[in-house]
Amino acid sequence: MAERTVKWVALAGLLPATVILVPSLFYLILAMLMVLGAELAHPDAGGRTAAIRNFGGLILMMAAPLAGMAVTWTSLLVGPQIFRRPRSRIPAACGLLLLGIGVGGWWLYYVANLQQGAGRTRIGYAALWIALVFCPMLVGAREFFRIARGSHDRGN
């Protein structure tokens, strides 16, 4: 019963990010790919390397949380045992989770250091980012340990 409750709490923690951030990130990645394609199609060859480096870094920083969310949802809905066969799935799943958690931590650090207004605005702003980023980071960390712990099972 407790495991079932924990699963529902984890699903509730992922829901705001899944409804708001996942579609936003997906469409932002598509937009960034279109801008990168337009930049690469431009006849000015001098800025291509810089464009690939800058836009590529942004695209990867947006794709990491998407991959982490996909692994987290899969582990929650299907179970961490899905990553046990073949053995190469465990490091890949754990790596994607760590990338997503790392980018989420970087984003929270960045948002915390912004100079925003004080008072209620600051509290509401913090609550928004805690719901959208911190809760999925906690659920992702839980799933990371569930998947990693399963890698040491000899019978599976």
pLDDT in tens, 128-149: 888 899 999 999 999 999 998 8
Write down the pTM of the prediction: 0.82
Helix (H, G, I), strand (E, B) or coil at 77: helix
Which DSSP category does 154 fall into? Answer: S
For the cut 80, the answer to whether the pLDDT of residue 122 exceeds it is no
* pLDDT given for residue 129 in this prediction: 84
Helix (H) or strand (E) holding 111: helix 89-112
Task: Report the percent of the chain where pLDDT is more than 70.
Answer: 88
Higher-confidence residue of 154 and 37: namely 37
For the cut 90, the answer to whether the pLDDT of residue 97 exceeds it is yes
- Spatial separation of the C-alpha atoms in residues 65 and 100, rounded to whole Å: 4
Q: What angle do CA 32, 37, 42 make, to 5 degrees?
A: 125
Higher-confidence residue of 40 and 30: namely 30
Q: List phi, psi (to 5°) of 115.
A: -90, 90
Cβ atoms of residues 84 and 148 within 8 Å: no
Cβ atoms of residues 14 and 100 within 8 Å: no
